[in-house]
């Protein structure tokens, strides 16, 4: 399961089961590339307008690879 939590006073929590993640996108601006942080958007059909954002993630390329690897392993276990 992938989880995004947002808010200082109020709280918004978005969760997505690994088997429901259709795709992922990494976005990084110039400073994000220099400082190695960015956003990961998980495409989840039928959930919060179809996406779960993970904002301000350190090393987003590596985190995306970990999430995708976990999705592949989960799909392999389901067979």
**Angle made by CA atoms 21, 27, 30, in degrees to the nearest 5:** 165
pLDDT at residue 78 is higher than 80: no
pLDDT at residue 7 is higher than 70: no
Higher pLDDT pick, 24 / 12 = 24
How far apart are the C-alpha atoms of 54 and 64, rounded to whole Å? 10
**Angle made by CA atoms 69, 34, 2, in degrees to the nearest 5:** 30
3-state secondary structure of 24: strand
pLDDT at residue 35 is higher than 80: yes
Per DSSP, which regions of 12-73 are E strands?
Answer: 12-16, 23-27, 37-43, 51-58
Query: What residues form DSSP beta bridges with 6?
Result: 12
């Amino acid at each position: 399961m992938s989880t995004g939590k947002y808010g200082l006073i109020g709280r918004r929590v978005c969760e997505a089961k690994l088997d429901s993640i259709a795709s992922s996108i990494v976005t990084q601006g110039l400073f994000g590339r220099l400082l190695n942080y960015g956003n990961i958007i998980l495409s989840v059909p039928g959930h919060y307008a179809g996406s779960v954002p993970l904002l301000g993630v350190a090393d987003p390329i590596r985190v995306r690879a970990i999430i995708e690897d976990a999705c592949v392993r989960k799909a392999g276990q389901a067979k």
